[in-house]
């Protein structure tokens, strides 16, 4: 089983997700349009957010408070994802020794 799989389960409706992270639903839609996150969808197309999505939304909020614009935030999120992947590869390489 992949670690944190439960954190990726999309369960929260947009209204609940917005309330949990303290922002408006329109902001969540904007962040999706700008490519900052991609929430899950029901078969009917309704957005569903996971705990991992909520973490990303909280990170976006923190970066906005630091003065970054959405384009800058997209770059930061992409670099953080690359860094996590590389750290995982390095840890795996170390255990294979």
Summarised one tens digit per residue, pLDDT across range 32-73 is: 999 999 999 999 999 999 999 999 999 999 999 999 999 999
pLDDT of residue 3: 53
Q: Which CATH architecture has domain 5-96?
A: Orthogonal Bundle (1.10)
- pLDDT band with cut points at 50, 70 and 90 for residue 6: confident
Domain chopping of the chain, boundaries = 5-96
pTM comes to 0.85
Continuous segment of H or E residues that includes residue 33: helix 25-33
CA dist., res. 25 & res. 13, Å (int): 10
DSSP 12-75: B-HHHHHHHHTS-HHHHHHHHHTTS---EE-TT--EEB-HHHHHHHHHHHHHHHTT--HHHHHH
- pLDDT band with cut points at 50, 70 and 90 for residue 7: confident
């Amino acid at each position: 089983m992949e670690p944190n799989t439960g954190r990726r389960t999309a369960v929260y409706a947009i209204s609940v997700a917005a309330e949990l992270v303290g922002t408006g639903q329109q902001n969540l839609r904007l962040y999706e349009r700008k490519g900052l996150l991609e929430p899950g969808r029901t078969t009917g197309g309704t957005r569903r957010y996971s705990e991992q999505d909520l973490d990303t939304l909280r990170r976006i909020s923190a970066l906005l408070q630091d003065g970054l614009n959405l384009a800058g935030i997209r770059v930061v999120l992409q670099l953080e994802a690359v860094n996590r992947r590389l750290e995982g590869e390095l840890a795996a390489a170390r255990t294979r020794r």
